[in-house]
Each structure stands twice: as C-alpha cells, then as structure tokens.
Structure 1
C-alpha cells in the first residue's frame, strides 16, 4: 500500500481551504442512538383514530347546525335556551381532531413541540377527570343540586331545540322517570304548565316519554300525556312514571358501579398508553440529538 508523501498532503490542504481551514481537520462522531420505528408508527396509529373520529364528529356537528339553520344565521346561537347537545359533539370533535393532528404529525415528523403539546394536553385531561370524579364523590349534595338545576333549565327549553327534546325523551324513557324530581316539574315549561293563561293543548300534561309503555301497542302514542296532571294521583300512577330522573340516576349508579368503573379504567389506560408512547418517542429524539457531535 503506497503512502502519500508529505508534500501531497500539504497540497491537498491548500487546495481545500473550505474543507480544512487553517489546515485543521474536523472529525464527525455519530451516536448509535436512533428513534424507534415501533413507537413512532404505533403513536401514529394511536392518533390517527382520534384524528379521523374528530373529523367525523365535527362533520356531524356542523351538519346538525346546518339543519337547524344556525350556519346561515349565526345569531341563532345567542337565542338558544337550555343545553344544545350539538355543542358537546362539536367541542369533543375539536379536541379529538386537534390532539389527533398534533400526535400524528408530531410522530411522523419527530416534532418535539407537537409531541409535548399532545402529551401535556392528555395529562391535563387525565387529571381533570380524576379531579371531577373525586369532587363529585366528596360533594354529592352540591352535584345533586346542580344536576336538578340543569335538568329544570332544560325542561323550560324542551320545545326550543329538537336535539334537546330528543335527549330528554331518551333519558326519561330509558330510566322510567318524569321530570327532575317529579312530573310536576313540567309546570316550568310554558307549553305544559297549568296556569289559566296557557292555551296550549299540552296544558297540565307531560311529554309522551313520561308515559308507561303498553307492550301491546306497537305504535307510540304521542298524546298519552295530555291532561295527565289534572287526574288524581291514583289514576296518574297507572299512566305515567312518578319518579323523578334525579332519583332514577342516583339509583342507577350503584347498580352499575362496576360498568362505570370499568369504563373509567379503560379510558385511563388508553390515556396513559398515549402518554407513554409520546414520552418514549421524545426521549429517543432527544437521545439522537444529544449524541450528534461535531
């Protein structure tokens, strides 16, 4: 093997001053650390489900608003009374879409900022869920009062929004209940109250979802609640449910505590798994950056 003379080495250094300034050679050292493809694409797959689900929820929410005419007249938002279920769909859709986007792009592009945003938001949501669960257990009376107030406000707005109406009807039919604490709570609604000024045909009645279903009838009788509250209590009991929905929900929770706990556990495990993937991927990226030296 021929060894280059010293003169040739000097001439090369002179010909390449940009590569070897002042005759000094640069040595490059590459770390053996690398970003795990397994964690990278697992996090991408984890987030793309949320991203697509968020897009679907956003589409459903915007479609529901367009059916109500809100998109053509945005001032209708300020005139809505009670709880609009479409708001919940839109808020959940925006959160899922944003987190899914940050997780997917952050994983593919190995972007630390997006990964930190994704991880930090999931941690925040996780601790908020824990805080709500603990506070709901410690302050049960306060939660019961707020639930009663919330239900009564939505009884007042029952006829204002079709989605709210369907939500209350589904709740009453599923739990065999009527009103917040009793069927008389429907006096709060201008269509169902018993005042003399009320000219509605539904006066002193209740919605059909309060009626005890007849197994022999295949067609729902939407007029079964008319004038029910004018009848004596003994006759009323055979036609409509007399238990309020707050009491029904309080009785439902102890019977289904294992289902609620299992659902909370599954959601928590999914969140912790996403946090673990994001933290591991960030650690790999930091290790690669730290190991690259000039």
Structure 2
C-alpha cells in the first residue's frame, strides 16, 4: 500500500516525495545564495555597519542573491516540509506564493510590452545611476564591466554617459587620471592580447568621435540589449514559457496533494 489509506482514500507517495525532493533542492540552493550574499556583505564590511547598505547610489548586486535566495528558501521550505509532514497550510502557502510569483511575472511581461518606451527610459535611468556609483562598490563595478564586455557596449546610450561619473568626466576641475576616459570594459578587444590593458580607455573621449570607434565600443548598452533580445527572442521566450509551465506544474501537484490529504482526513474523521 502506498501512502496513508482510509476507506479507499490515500495520499500519493509519488506526488508527496516528488514535491519533497524537488523543493529540497530549491531550499538548499536558496540557503546557498543567501549564504553567498551574507559572505559578500561581510567582505565589504556591511554586516558591521548596516547603515552602509543605503550609502550606495547604485544597485548592490548582492541584493539579487539575497532576494532570489530568500524567495527560493521560503518556497523550498514550505513545499518541502509541507509535503513531508502532509501539512496542508504549508502546501497551500506554497501554491499561493508560487501563484503570486507567476501572476507578477505575467503582469510584468504584459506591462513591459505595452510600456516598452517607458521601460527603455527607466533602463537608461537605472544604468546612469549605476554609472555614477561605479567606483563605490566592487560588485557593482564588476557587474557593469561584465555587461559592457558581454554586449560590447559603453554607457547607456553611448560613451559620453561616463561624464556622469566623477572619475571619468571631462570637467577642468577633475584631477583623476581617468578624466575624459572610460572603463577598460568599453575597449574593443585585441585577440592578440592575452592580458587585459586596464588603461586602454584613458583619454579616449578627448579624441574625435570618428577616432573613438577604433579604441572603444561606441554603441550604448540599452540599444545593444534590445538587439540581443531580438536576436535571441526564441531562446528568451522558451525560457519564460518553461519557467511558467514549471510553476503551473508545481501548483497543480501541491493542490493535488492537498486534496488527497484532506480526503484522507475526512475519511478518518467519519470512521
């Protein structure tokens, strides 16, 4: 006999332990992401000075680890313990939470399509805010460098966006050696160079616009991101559809298990 059995009603062991095994992976991965976030904060001294969290002008990438890890931990805990202990409250919480996430993702997708011009402006604002804070946080700096290298871009809409940063602007009062330059991640790559030249962007914006393209990527990250989305539309759509189907599948399994548990309890109650 599989599962608890009362007068023809039983809890499916297959569904129960599938939900348990699936969610324990999410639980452990969530804990790992939160742990990585806490470790990164401790390395930057944030844990010894919590107020420093609000000191940054741009995004601290560690927040991504903390938020995603926290959500995965909560979902994994509810699904894992709910299935193992046949706790209908935790299973319903798991279903509702997963349903809310699915609804938010769907709403975000629709709004992003309808208000794509507004999203574009907000993305521009977001990138420029992070450009201002480029030297304030090593994780943010690495994220911006990775983005500019991966999409072969520079700034939000062009290299001149780096005028927003106090180290790279072209004002006469700027004493920085990086004045009128850009980060090395904006530079075009020479396949013959094995070592990254971190000074390749020095003084490059003091040159004529026609000369700059010989040294740096002159396209902005916003149009490059749009181009990447268009070129990889099938892949992006496939990922979103796959995630959505996985969430719907999880909700259906959890609700099925809740129905089985309640049916068994009702049978036991009337015995």
Q: Give the TM interval when normalised to the shorter protein.
A: over 0.9
* Cα distance in 2 for residues equivalent to 1:185 and 1:233: 14
Partner of residue 217, structure 2: 241
Partner of residue 245, structure 2: 269
Within a 5 Å distance, the mapping from 1:112-131 to structure 2 comes to: 112-131=88-107
* Cα distance in 2 for residues equivalent to 1:234 and 1:287: 74
User: Over aligned residues, Cα RMSD in angstroms?
Assistant: 0.9
TM-score by length of 1: 0.89
Question: Post-superposition shift, 1:195?
Answer: 0.7
Is 1:208 the counterpart of 2:181 in the alignment? no
Partner of residue 230, structure 2: 254
SS in 1 for 2:78: helix
Question: Post-superposition shift, 1:31?
Answer: 2.2
* Cα distance in 2 for residues equivalent to 1:266 and 1:147: 26
Is 1:144 the counterpart of 2:112 in the alignment? no
Partner of residue 3, structure 2: none
Partner of residue 191, structure 1: 167
Question: Post-superposition shift, 1:135?
Answer: 0.7
Partner of residue 49, structure 1: 25
Gap regions ≥5 residues in structure 1: 1-29
Cα deviations across residues 90-124 of structure 1 (Å, max 9, x unaligned)? 01111101110111110011111100100000000
Query: Could you tell me whether the CA contact under 8 Å between 1:46 and 1:274 is conserved in 2?
Result: no
Question: Post-superposition shift, 1:279?
Answer: 0.5
Which structure 1 residue ranges, 4+ long, deviate > 3 Å from structure 2? none
Partner of residue 64, structure 1: 40
TM-score by length of 2: 0.96
Within a 5 Å distance, the mapping from 1:268-287 to structure 2 comes to: 268-287=244-263
Partner of residue 153, structure 1: 129
Partner of residue 146, structure 2: 170
Question: Post-superposition shift, 1:276?
Answer: 1.3
Partner of residue 10, structure 1: none
**Which of 15, 22, 31 is the equivalent residue of 2:7?**
31
Partner of residue 60, structure 2: 84
Q: Which sits farther off after the overlay, 200-209 or 231-240? A: 231-240
Query: Could you tell me whether the CA contact under 8 Å between 1:210 and 1:225 is conserved in 2?
Result: yes
Question: Post-superposition shift, 1:159?
Answer: 0.3
Report how many residues are paired. Answer: 265
* Cα distance in 1 for residues equivalent to 2:11 and 2:228: 48
* Cα distance in 1 for residues equivalent to 2:219 and 2:253: 48
